[in-house]
Structure formats: C-alpha cells, structure tokens
C-alpha cells in the first residue's frame, strides 16, 4: 500500500506533458501540446495536452484525464502501478505501508515465479538459436511455418530439447530452487523431470509483458503425444483470465478499436507478422468472462475468425452469449474451407486478408439466425426452438435500443411478427431478473446458484491478478 501522503507528493510532482512525451511525440501549439492520439487511429493530431491544467484530451475519440488515467489506459496499469511508475520517474521514494504477512508472502512467491519463468524463457531461446538440435529441429520448423526470425524473437519463441531434465539441471547450476520450478509448472509434479520436452515453446505473457506461463508444441509425430501442452494454473497464471497475444496486441487493439480473436498461437504470430496486430487467441477453450473483460478494457468490438467447418462454428456460437452479456459487439468471419488464419494470410497476403475479413464480417446474432434457419427449413417445431434460442441471446444484451434493432432484423429474417419476438424476449428478461433477485436475496456467501467452476481456486478479482505484474 502506498501512503496517502506519498500519493499526494507524486501527484504534485507530475507534469503531464513529460509523462505523455514518454509515449507520444508532442509539439507546441500555443500553451498546449498536440500530437497523434495513441488511443485511436488518426492522421491529423487531435490529441491535446494541457500543461497548465495537467490534463489531456482527445477531440477525436474523447479520451481524457490526468497522467494517472493516461498510464492506466495506455499501459494497462492498475492505479497503484501507475503511481509506482510515476514515483520512479520523479524519484519519489515510496515507503510502502505494511502489507499483511500473507500479502507479502504471496507477492514474494509471485515475484520468484516470474524470475524462474524468465530464466526458462532464456534457456528455451538459447536452445533454439545456439544448439544444433534447436537449429535443425525447432528453428527449421518455425521457418517452414513461414515465421521470420525477428518474429520468433519478438514473441520469445524457444525450444525444449527432448531430454529428461536439462532445464532442471541448468536451474540447479544457477541456483534456482527446484521447488519453484515445480510450483510454476516447469517440472513434473514429483520434481524429477522437465515438464516440457521435445517441444517448441511459446511463452504466454501477462498484460504487462511478464512471462506467466508456457505452451509447448510437440515435435514428435507420435499421435499418442498431445500436440500442445500448457503450464498448469499457478499463482501467476489463471487460464480463464489470459489471452495469448494480449500484451503484444493491446496497443493495436486500442488504436483500431477492435479485437480479432483467433484460435491458435501461430495464428496470432502469423497475423502479427503480416502487420495485423490487433489479434489475440483464446487457445482453443471457449471464451470466458475473464477473457471478455480483458478485451473490454481495450475495445467493445470483437471480431471472431472461424475456420469454415459449420459443425465447429455452431458449437462455438453457443459460447458467445457471454460476450453479448458484456455488451460487446460481436462479428463473425468464416474463413474459406480448409484455411485457418495462419495459412490464409500466408496464402493471400495481408492486404487481401484485411479486405476479406472486413467484407465477410457478419453480425453474430444475424449470422446465428441465418445459420440455424437454414437447418430448420420446413420444420415448424424446430423453428420454434430456434426462435427461443435466438431470443435467449438477444435477451442478454443490456442495451434496450440495440435489442430493439435486433428484434426488428430477426423478425424479418425469421418471418415472425416483431410483437411476438418482443413478448418472448421480455419473458426471458423477466425470468433472468427474478433469478438474479433470488440470488441477491441469498447473499452474502450464497453459492448454491453460482456457476460451477472447473477448478476450486478462489475468484481472483481482476485487480488482484494484475497486481502480481507490478
Ligand atoms: Zn483519440
């Protein structure tokens, strides 16, 4: 905790133009400074910094505030992180208020896990670039997949040779405790063997760019070996609050005011390499609330790219209602049959790819309606089921105006009167409200109706999760 006195000291010391100039180049105009807004894409500057009032304001996208707001928005810092950053810049010493012993222990553990992951990151990179096996197996694989060396380096890709305990041995030499390697999931649970062996390695960063976990893709053609494995959940890695590429992509997502979601690590990497940088991957799992909130911190517009297999797409659509609840605008893009984002962008190039995804993007609800309508043609009972299904999605949208617009469109698509659809939706909304009221009445601590979780970790609030990354 930072004492209030120090917070005031920091705020008094801050000169906003000095802070913002660390990120944006500004020039003088009268008493103000102007520059190109880092929060939206623009060619003529509408981003204003007012040194007298110590605030900034963009007349293009409306973002504005003080230096702390700027850092929180621009760097995805939490409030304390922004304060610490400013304290360092202005040489203000922070005498932290005593943390509880548990908090301190937690923070120390998180710090040491990051250190061990950094060590592993370097180790995997050395294995990739500086060993014969790394070069002939892993580097050759990346090259064959069309990944350039600068991309390999910027994503921190590496290689874990097919040896039982090379990483453990190296860790021992430099003095990292085997217990920490076990805790962060880099060794087997009994601590005797490396967790990742014979795999190319993808570090998974948290939002501030620290390595929270790894994923490894096998170099073996043995079908019994899982293609990808991931670090287990740890104090610093909560899977359902992590998106691959979120760190590398956050700036572009904010500038484009859109997040493109793909499935695989190599999709993210390949699109980045092609200059399409507002991309993250959910790594196969269906989207969770935590992941959606991560997206929502930077944009309300989500574009999801699917490989063109209709069965797979239908299954995926079921998970998307969560995004509607979060009030995200969801668009779907189907890629041509047999293509994934990686193969497709390499085949047609970035410009054509960009055109394709903006041309083919379809609104999620209308897309779902059309897809299901085709299936229920001539079958009134199934069609009734479909209407309920779609209305269930629409009922989740918090904004009544948006809801109304969808009902209108769906009414004409499904050939059902708008009135009927309105009634159906209202019924569903009322049911949801009643359920929520019941739930609230049983608070606090009533967990009977809480959504079931696959793990038994306590809910880590977003703030807490980010705090580990200071
Ligand atoms: Zn702006």
What number of CA atoms fall less than 13 Å from residue 352's CA on the CB side? 8
Residues 72-116: tens digit of each pLDDT: 999 888 899 999 999 988 888 888 777 788 888 888 899 999 999
Instruction: Enumerate the H helices of 299-379 as residue ranges.
Output: 310-318, 321-325, 341-348, 350-360, 364-376
User: How many whole angstroms from 39 Cα to the centroid of ligand 1?
Assistant: 5
Give 57-76 pLDDT, tens digit per residue: 999 999 999 999 999 999 88
Give distance in angstroms: CA of 47 to centre of ligand 1. Answer: 6
Residue 36 Cα to ligand 1 middle (Å): 8
Within 372-460, strands assigned E span none
Ligand 1 centre distance from Cα of residue 72 (Å): 15
What pLDDT does residue 466 have? Answer: 29
**Ligand 1: distance of its center to the CA of 60 in Å?**
5
CATH T-level fold of 241-360: Dna Topoisomerase Vi A Subunit; Chain: A, domain 2 (3.40.1360)
Cα(79) to centroid(ligand 1), Å: 21
pLDDT for 454 beyond 80: no
Q: How confident is the model at residue 284 (pLDDT cuts 50, 70, 90)?
A: low
Cα-to-centroid distance, 51 and ligand 1 (Å): 18
For ligand 1, the distance from its centroid to the CA atom of residue 17, given in whole angstroms, is: 16
CA of 169 to the centre of ligand 1 (A): 51
Residue 166: CA count within 13 A, CB half-sphere: 13
Q: What distance in angstroms lies between residue 11's CA and the mean position of ligand 1's atoms?
A: 24
Q: Are 230 and 239 in contact (CB under 8 A)?
A: yes
**Is 159 within 8 Å of 126 (Cβ atoms)?**
no
Percent of the chain with pLDDT over 90: 53
Q: 41 C-alpha vs ligand 1 centroid, how far in Å?
A: 7
**Distance in Å, CA 101 to ligand 1 centroid:** 43
Strand partners, 333: 305
Q: What is the pLDDT of residue 444?
A: 56
What 3 state SS string does 232-285 have? CCECCECHHHCCECHHHHHHHHHHHCCEEEECCHHHHHHHHHCCCCCEEECCCC
251 Cα–ligand 1 center, Å = 13
Give the whole-angstrom CA distance, residue 189 versus residue 181. Answer: 10
Q: Give distance in angstroms: CA of 20 to centre of ligand 1.
A: 14
**The predicted structure's pLDDT at residue 287:** 84
C-alpha 167 – ligand 1 centre gap (Å): 46
Taking the centre of ligand 1 as the mean of its atom positions, its distance from the CA of residue 23, in whole angstroms, is: 14
CATH homologous superfamily of 4-98: Zinc finger, CHC2-typedomain (3.90.580.10)
Distance 174 CA to ligand 1 centre (A): 47
From ligand 1's centre to the CA of 71, what distance in Å? 15
> CA 15 to CA 32: how far, in whole Å?
13
55 C-alpha to ligand 1 centroid (Å): 14
Quote the ligand 1 centre to 321 CA distance (angstroms): 30
Average of pLDDT values for 434-451? Answer: 64
For 2-48, what is each residue's pLDDT tens digit? 888 889 889 888 989 999 998 888 999 988 999 999 999 888 999 99
- How many A from CA of 57 to the centre of ligand 1? 8
**Which position has the higher pLDDT, 256 or 184?**
184
pLDDT at 467 over 80: no
Is residue 459 over pLDDT 50?
no
What are the tens digits of pLDDT across the range 140-183? 999 999 999 999 999 999 999 999 999 999 999 999 999 999 99
Peptide bond into 128 cis (omega under 30): no
> What's the gap in Å between 18 CA and the centre of ligand 1?
19
CATH architecture of the domain covering 111-237: Alpha-Beta Complex (3.90)
Residue 271 near residue 279, CB atoms below 8 Å = yes
Residue 443: band (very low, low, confident or very high) from pLDDT cuts 50, 70, 90: low
Per-chain residues with Cβ under 5 A from ion ligand 1: 37, 39-40, 58, 60-61
Report the mean per-residue pLDDT for the chain.
87
- Alpha-carbon distance of 359 to 353, in angstroms, equals 10
CA–centroid distance, 278 to ligand 1, in Å, is 17
pLDDT at 456 over 60: no
Q: Which of 154-163, 253-262, 454-463 has the highest mean pLDDT?
A: 154-163
How remote is the CA of residue 193 from the centroid of ligand 1, in Å?
51
Whole-prediction pTM: 0.74
Domain positions in the chain are: 4-98, 111-237, 241-360, 370-441
């Amino acid at each position: 905790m930072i004492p209030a006195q120090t917070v005031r000291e920091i705020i008094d010391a801050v000169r906003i133009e000095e802070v913002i100039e660390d990120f944006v180049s500004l020039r003088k105009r009268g008493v103000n400074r102007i520059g190109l807004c880092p929060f939206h894409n623009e060619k003529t500057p509408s981003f204003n910094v007012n040194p007298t009032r110590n605030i900034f304001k963009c007349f293009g996208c409306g973002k504005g505030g003080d230096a702390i707001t700027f850092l929180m928005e621009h760097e995805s810092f939490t409030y304390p992180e922004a304060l610490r950053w400013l304290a360092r810049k202005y040489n203000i010493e922070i005498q932290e208020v005593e943390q509880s012993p548990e908090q301190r222990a937690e923070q120390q553990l998180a710090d040491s896990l990051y250190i061990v992951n950094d060590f592993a990151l370097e180790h995997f990179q050395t294995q990739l670039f500086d060993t014969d096996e790394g070069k002939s197996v892993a580097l050759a694989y990346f090259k064959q997949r069309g990944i350039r060396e600068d991309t390999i380096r910027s994503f921190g890709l590496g290689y874990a040779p097919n040896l039982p305990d090379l990483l453990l041995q190296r860790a021992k030499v430099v003095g990292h405790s085997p217990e920490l390697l076990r805790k962060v999931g880099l060794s087997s649970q009994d601590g005797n063997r490396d967790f990742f062996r014979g795999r190319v390695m993808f570090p998974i960063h948290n939002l501030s760019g620290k390595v929270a976990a790894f994923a490894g893709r096998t170099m073996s053609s043995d079908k019994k070996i899982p293609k990808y494995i991931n670090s287990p959940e740890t104090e610093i890695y909560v899977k359902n609050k992590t998106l691959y590429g979120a760190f590398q992509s956050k700036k572009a997502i904010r500038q484009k005011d859109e997040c493109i979601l793909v499935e695989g690590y190599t999709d993210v990497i390949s699109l980045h390499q092609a200059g399409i940088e507002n991309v993250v991957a959910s790594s196969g799992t269906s989207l969770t609330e935590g992941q959606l909130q991560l997206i929502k911190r930077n944009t309300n517009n989500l574009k999801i790219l699917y490989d063109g297999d209709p069965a797979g797409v239908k299954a995926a659509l079921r998970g998307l209602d969560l995004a509607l609840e979060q009030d995200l605008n969801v668009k779907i893009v189907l890629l041509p049959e047999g293509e994934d984002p990686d193969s497709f962008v390499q085949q047609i190039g970035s410009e054509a790819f960009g055109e394709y995804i903006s041309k083919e993007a379809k609104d999620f609800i209308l897309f779902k309606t059309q897809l299901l309508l085709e299936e229920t043609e001539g079958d009134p009972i199934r069609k009734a089921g479909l209407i309920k299904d779609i209305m269930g999605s629409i009922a989740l949208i918090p904004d009544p105006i948006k809801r109304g617009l969808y009902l209108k469109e769906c009414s004409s698509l499904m050939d059902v009167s708008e009135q009927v659809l309105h009634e159906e939706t209202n019924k569903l909304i009322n049911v949801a409200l009643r359920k929520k009221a019941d739930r609230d009445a049983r608070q606090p601590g009533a967990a009977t109706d809480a959504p079931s979780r696959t793990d038994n970790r306590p809910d880590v609030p977003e703030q807490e999760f980010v705090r580990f990354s200071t």
